[in-house]
């Protein structure tokens, strides 16, 4: 077994060779390449090892990489955003009835909890639908923390409102789903988790439980404790998206 990395050059070497469960994936290899660039850039700019570890473990590094990828997707006039039927108040995608409750990183979970703090004690999305995200306004069905919403929410696009409604009811329908940036994000977090073994823990959280705890008045630390996933949730989600 290899020793846990204790500096950035060692972390780069570990990242180069770690393998994830399942078949070799182009998405995983792209995430690896971007993480190696991210780490090498941190090294060249004199970023302390501990700071880089925090960025990787919190999911912030993966979020920056996937966010830049998503910006490119949205900037493409012929991309999936061009035909999206998504609009304000169409919130079927905010019914979080999956087993993981909507997987988010520690950085995103903390951001959601902080953004929802001003709405503690107020009616939330569950007044509209029992499995809706608590970040929703129950009257307008719009997201009250839109600027702080996780990558999962930003990558979900649909060309059919009917498909979204069907999926929300538990009946699979084509036309709706996440774009590739979400798979890149999951792969980057999984690689970071494997590379940081023995150094730091890369945790994921259920978005629905973070939001529910925050609107119940819990502070961010308490909200995150209530929403922490079991370790296999990340790999389960990667497998579900086949990345």
Tell me the CA distances in angstroms from 220 to 108, 134, 189, 203, one per residue in order: 11, 15, 21, 15
More confident residue, 88 or 51: 51
> Looking at residues 93-101, what average pLDDT do you find?
84
Q: Which residue has the tokens 């991309």?
A: 79
Tell me the CA distances in angstroms from 37 to 15, 43, 200, 201, one per residue in order: 11, 10, 20, 21
Q: What is the pLDDT of residue 222?
A: 97
Q: What is the pLDDT of residue 242?
A: 74
What does the block give as tokens for 114?
Answer: 């902080």
Mean pLDDT of the chain, nearest integer: 93
Q: Greatest CA separation found in the chain? A: 55
Confidence tier at 236 by pLDDT (50, 70, 90): very high
pLDDT tens figures, 125-152? 999 999 999 999 999 999 999 999 999 9
Q: Does pLDDT of 178 surpass 80?
A: yes
Distance CA(57)–CA(190), nearest Å, equals 10
Share of the chain above pLDDT 70, in %: 98
Q: Does pLDDT of 103 surpass 80?
A: yes
Q: Does pLDDT of 15 surpass 70?
A: yes
Residue-by-residue DSSP string for 26-94: HHHHHHHHHHHHHHHHHHHTT--HHHHHHHHHTTHHHHHHHHHHHHHHHH-TTSGGGG----TT--GGG
Q: pTM for this structure?
A: 0.93
Distance CA(29)–CA(227), nearest Å, equals 30
Q: CB–CB of 94/132 below 8 Å?
A: yes
> Hey, which bits of the chain come out as E strands?
103-105, 156-158, 176-178, 204-206
């Amino acid at each position: 077994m290899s020793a846990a990395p204790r500096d950035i050059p060692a972390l780069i070497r570990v990242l180069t060779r770690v393998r994830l469960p399942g078949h070799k994936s182009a998405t995983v290899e792209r995430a690896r390449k971007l993480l190696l660039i991210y780490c090498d850039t941190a090294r060249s700019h004199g970023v302390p090892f501990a700071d880089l570890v925090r960025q990787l473990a919190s999911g912030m590094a993966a979020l920056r990489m996937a966010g830049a990828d998503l910006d490119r997707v949205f900037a493409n006039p012929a991309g999936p955003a061009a035909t999206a039927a998504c609009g304000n108040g169409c919130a079927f995608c905010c019914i979080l009835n999956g087993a993981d409750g909507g997987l988010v990183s520690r950085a995103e979970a903390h951001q959601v909890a902080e953004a929802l703090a001003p709405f503690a004690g107020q009616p939330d999305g569950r007044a509209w639908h029992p499995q809706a995200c608590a970040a929703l306004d129950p009257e307008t069905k719009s997201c009250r923390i839109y600027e702080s919403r996780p990558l999962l929410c930003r990558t979900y696009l649909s060309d059919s409102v009917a498909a979204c409604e069907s999926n929300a009811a538990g009946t699979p329908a084509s036309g709706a789903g996440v774009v590739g940036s979400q798979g890149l994000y999951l792969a980057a977090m999984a690689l970071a988790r494997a590379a940081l073994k023995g150094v730091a823990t890369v945790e994921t959280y259920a978005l629905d439980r973070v939001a529910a705890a925050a609107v119940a008045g819990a502070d961010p630390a308490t909200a995150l404790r209530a929403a922490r996933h079991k370790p296999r949730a990340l790999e389960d989600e990667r497998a579900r998206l086949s990345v």
